[in-house]
């Protein structure tokens, strides 16, 4: 299949690469020349704008960092809406359901169907093709793309309502962020009391406290002190804000989510939006005066 792909950064590159390796022909665009050159070297063809991509293919996919950027790419000057061939806009980004509905309606006026398909699993999931792909849109338009989604991960059809996939993604990321924040507090408390952090993680993962942070994020990024799990603090803070905005619009109370958002707001401000979201623990470490790091040999 001929596919357009807009946004070939850390996540987008691996999704695009896997599509090329699966035999699809890709027309790509990214504002960063280095990112474009990297995927062109794998066999993609570069275009000069989102509209130029949409002039050449019926299906355009996008993996972009913020809702406003997605809106501009979809409907702005030289955007996908002006393309002469495009029929489907597949948004792999996290925008929130209200923005998804806004883009859906704007593209509908151009006879283009938006398929909302946010993904979860981070850079490692994109690299391995194990992302959770949360799909919403007209089923008749989604079904032909299921083999394409299967190349980048495990597809889940959430529903036909525009933005349903976004609601699912925000719920997922709230849980991910909460697990990371709560585990950080528990680990700092234990280390402050003199416990070995590696032993703590082993116990937690064998017991009822096990979660995504204890299973993967702490062993891979916190205990070794690399803080390179693959998702930026600024993006997680953005997702939490979108989640709380949606909850407020729905009339759903979010007391725990508000506390988690405040923690990431602090990390976003003090540590920086470009730092890995696992670095949120450093705010708690600084306050407590300890560092949750593994020793070189946990058996000594």
Same fold, 2-161 and 167-288: no
pLDDT one-digit tens code per residue, 227-276 = 999 899 999 999 999 999 999 999 999 999 999 999 999 999 999 999 99
What the block records as the tokens of 133 is: 């792909």
CATH 1.20.1050.10 fits 167-288, yes or no: no
Work out the mean pLDDT of the chain and round it to a whole number.
95
Quickly count: other Cβ atoms within 10 Å of residue 204's Cβ.
20
- Does position 297 have pLDDT exceeding 90, yes or no? no
pLDDT in tens, 61-85: 999 999 999 999 999 999 999 999 9
Inform me whether the pLDDT recorded for 15 exceeds 70. yes
Based on the residue annotation, tell me whether 169 is a catalytic residue of this protein: yes
Q: Single out the residue of 169, 117, 106 nearest to residue 141, CA to CA.
A: 117
Set 85, 108, 128, 169: catalytic member: 169
Residue 295 has what pLDDT? 81
DSSP secondary structure letters along 20-85: HHTT-EEEEE-S-HHHHHHHHTTT-EE-SSHHHHHTT-SEEEE--SSHHHHHHHHHSTT-GGG-SS
pLDDT digits (tens, 9 = 90+) for 187-203: 999 999 999 999 999 99
Q: If you write DSSP's letter for every residue of 178-235 in order, what string do you get?
A: HHHHHHHHHHHHHHHTT--HHHHHHHHHHSTT--HIIIIIIIIIITTS---SS-BHHH
What residues does each domain of the chain span?
Answer: 2-161, 167-288
User: What CATH class does 2-161 carry?
Assistant: alpha beta
pLDDT at residue 122, rounded to an integer: 87
**For residues 140-147, average pLDDT:** 95
Burial class (CB in 10 A: 0-12, 13-18, 19+), 9: middle
The per-residue pLDDT for 298 is 47
Q: pLDDT tens, 213-223?
A: 999 999 999 99
């Amino acid at each position: 299949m001929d596919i357009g792909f807009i946004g070939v950064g850390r996540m987008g590159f691996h999704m695009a690469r896997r599509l090329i390796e699966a035999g699809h022909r890709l027309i790509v665009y990214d504002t960063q020349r280095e990112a474009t050159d990297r995927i062109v070297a794998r066999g993609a063809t570069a275009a000069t704008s989102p509209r130029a991509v949409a002039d050449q293919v019926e299906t355009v996919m996008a993996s972009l960092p913020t809702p406003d950027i997605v809106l501009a790419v979809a409907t702005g000057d030289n955007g996908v809406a002006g393309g002469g061939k495009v029929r489907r806009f597949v948004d792999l980004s996290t925008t929130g359901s209200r923005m998804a509905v806004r883009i859906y309606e704007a593209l509908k006026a151009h006879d283009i169907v938006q398929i909302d398909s946010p993904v979860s699993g981070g850079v490692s999931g994109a690299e391995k093709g194990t992302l959770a792909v949360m799909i919403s849109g007209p089923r008749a338009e989604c079904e032909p793309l299921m083999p394409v989604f299967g190349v980048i991960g495990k597809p889940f059809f959430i529903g036909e309502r525009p933005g349903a996939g976004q609601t699912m993604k925000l719920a997922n990321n709230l849980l991910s962020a909460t697990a990371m924040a709560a585990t950080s507090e528990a680990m700092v408390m234990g280390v402050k009391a003199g416990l070995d952090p590696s032993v703590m993680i082993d116990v937690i993962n064998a017991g009822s406290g096990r979660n995504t942070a204890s299973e993967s994020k702490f062993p891979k990024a916190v205990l070794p002190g690399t803080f390179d799990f693959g998702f930026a603090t600024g993006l997680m803070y953005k997702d939490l804000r979108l989640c709380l905005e949606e909850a407020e619009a729905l009339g759903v109370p979010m007391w725990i989510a508000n506390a988690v958002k405040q923690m990431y707001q602090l990390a976003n401000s003090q540590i920086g939006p470009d730092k890995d979201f696992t670095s949120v623990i450093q705010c708690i470490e600084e306050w407590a005066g300890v560092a949750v790091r593994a020793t070189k040999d946990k058996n000594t």
